Structure 1
């Protein structure tokens, strides 16, 4: 399967510093991920800020009756500007996720995600992407948008 590119933009009604502080802590991922994905962080991340080279292990259930391990590495960080996570082991043939942050004022931050991903299994993965993978990935980001509104009310 050829990699797909998805882009999502969120406005967080908080300062760049507060927004960065929240999103640069891996422990907060569980607060942003929909419950139906059964996303559990297995690595000891409580109270730890991410750093380049950080390996984070998760257990996810992308659909009922199926669970898999997922390992990502934080490959790049530019403080208050961006960070990148890449899948090392997991359900995708490719997962390259860029997170960008830009201040829009004292209490307004734009967060932009650019995701390149590819489903595994060649032509079968292409079919799976058409049937459900793309929709599910988009759904995760839509649920995250709702979580941002809940966690950061205006």
Structure 2
């Protein structure tokens, strides 16, 4: 199994507490996901993020094909970091770390994603041809939305 890693850094013109308030609410996932993916939260308990929280949603990431995705928040330390992992969905592995650090004029947010695709060689080919670029597009979209919400400045990319 080939494991891929993407890492990005974004400086946000807001306090760590304000960033945490936004990102610790699963309902804001829909706000930062491209509309053409038809992202819909199907079930979560309505609470702020906490370890053990399950979030289920549907989306159409490619060719309008609807998929179900179930994630769990495995670790969460308020105003510092959280980790979400896929339990069921399109990836063989999805492990997404989100870090928040105070910087001189706001917050430095760092994302580190490790992921793997099913289907061996075909999955590696799909990553090269489609998945890697789709993830970049999703993260670029997210940066634009966050910029509009907080006045963020993108300093590094996938």
**Is TM > 0.5 for Structure 1 vs Structure 2?**
yes
Equivalent residue number for residue 76 of structure 1: 75
Structure 1 counterpart SS, 2:43: coil
Equivalent residue number for residue 129 of structure 2: 131
Displacement over 4 Å in runs of 4+: none
Equivalent residue number for residue 29 of structure 2: 29
Aligned ranges 1:97-112 → 2 under 5 Å:
97-105=96-104, 108-112=106-110
Equivalent residue number for residue 118 of structure 2: 120
Structure 1 counterpart SS, 2:60: strand
Instruction: Give the Å deviation of 1:12.
Output: 1.1
Contact residue 44 and residue 54 of structure 2 kept, 8 A: no
User: Which runs of 5 or more residues in structure 2 are unaligned?
Assistant: 153-158
Instruction: Give the Å deviation of 1:44.
Output: 3.5
Q: Distance in 1 between matches of 2:52 and 2:61?
A: 26
User: Which runs of 5 or more residues in structure 1 are unaligned?
Assistant: none
Alignment root-mean-square deviation, CA: 1.3
Equivalent residue number for residue 155 of structure 2: none
Which stretch of structure 1 is more off in the superposition, 53-62 or 35-44? Answer: 35-44
* TM-score (ref. length: structure 1): 0.94
Instruction: Give the Å deviation of 1:152.
Output: 1.3
Q: 1:42 to 1:143 in 2, by over 3 A?
A: same
1:87 and 2:93 are equivalent in the alignment: no
Equivalent residue number for residue 51 of structure 1: 50
Instruction: Give the Å deviation of 1:153.
Output: 2.8
Question: Cα deviation per residue 1:11-38 (whole Å; 9 max; x = unaligned)?
Answer: 1101110111100110001110111111
